[in-house]
A and B are shown apart, each in its own frame.
Chain A
Amino acid sequence: MDDLDAVRRGDPEARDRWVAAWWPRVYRMALAMTGREADAEDLAQETLMAGLQALSRFRGESSESTWLYAILLRKHLSQRRRPPPPLRPAPIGREPEVEEALALLADLPPAQKITATLFYVEGLSIQEIARALGVMGPTVKWRLFRVRQTLKRKLGSDAPRIMCKELL
């Protein structure tokens, strides 16, 4: 919390430490949402920048992570409303496990995508996800139900490798 106060005061070193501490989690979440490394980097940067600017208003009523994920979802949804950026190629030589995870998530709507990632990857509880996304618990359960339905089909097909058409 002392470090957080230092970030709020504008201490550049504390700010760098805060960004470095959150960067991997926010970047991975952004990657899950966008499916592309370059877009994920942009989204993660926008999220953390918005987080830095709004940190003075953060009262600690929720955890920092859920607060940041809420910002990330808002940023992602507002990015989707803008005209799409020029298509950037996915990096060559992506690990198959990463490819498979992204392909699984690719066809989910954003709300289900972030819910699935928070639940299955970040290990957040339903209540934590509800707080982060500003929805009721039953909504989270419903989204997870839809995620299970969709991913069951994809996993059940047990294709040689799930390939996402967006990533090809």
Chain B
Amino acid sequence: MNDLDERIRGALSGLRRAPVPDPPRLRPATPERRSFPPALFAAAAMLIVLAASLTFMPLRERGPAAVVSHRIEALETRIARIEDEELRALMGRELALLRRELELSLR
């Protein structure tokens, strides 16, 4: 094996005689200087305005939910005034239906 190794080493040693070209002048790419163009400032300002408006503007209730909510309040007031048990039970069922409708409209 040593003899073979020596033969291979001798045969491959020719690589050391390969002419080598001049070394290149390598310059790693420098990152471009980052600038802040006016468009970037404008975009940032718009984002700030948007964030502020979302923070300070009151959220609008959803239309159907608001209506149902109003009907529930009115019905609760009416039920409170009724003394007849049967009628109260009937209106109570209507109230339960309205509450269910409100839940579904809020999903």
Contacts and interface: CB of A to CB of B under 8 A. Distances in A.
A36 B24 CA distance: 18
Interface string B78-103: 00000000000000000000000000
Contact of A27 (B8, B9, B14, B21): B21
A19 B14 contact: no
B21 A101 contact: no
B28 A155 contact: no
Interface in A76-121: 95-102, 104-105, 116-117, 120-121
Given A19-B23, A31-B18, A97 B8 contact: no
Contacts of B20: 23-24, 27-28
Given A49-B28, A148-B8, A23 B15 contact: no
A53 to B, nearest CB: 5
B9 A120 contact: yes
B17 A117 contact: no
B8 to A, nearest CB: 5
Contacts, number: 87
Contact of A121 (B13, B21, B23, B27): B13
B107 interface: no
B50 interface: no
Contact of B17 (A15, A37, A98, A147): A98
Interface of B: 1, 4-5, 7-9, 11-18, 20-21, 23-28
Given A15-B26, A120-B9, A148-B5, 15 more contacts: A12-B27, A27-B20, A41-B21, A49-B26, A49-B28, A53-B28, A95-B17, A97-B13, A98-B14, A98-B15, A100-B11, A104-B11, A116-B8, A121-B9, A121-B16
Interface of A: 12, 15-16, 19-20, 23-24, 27-28, 31-32, 37, 41, 45, 48-49, 52-53, 95-102, 104-105, 116-117, 120-121, 147-148, 151-152, 155
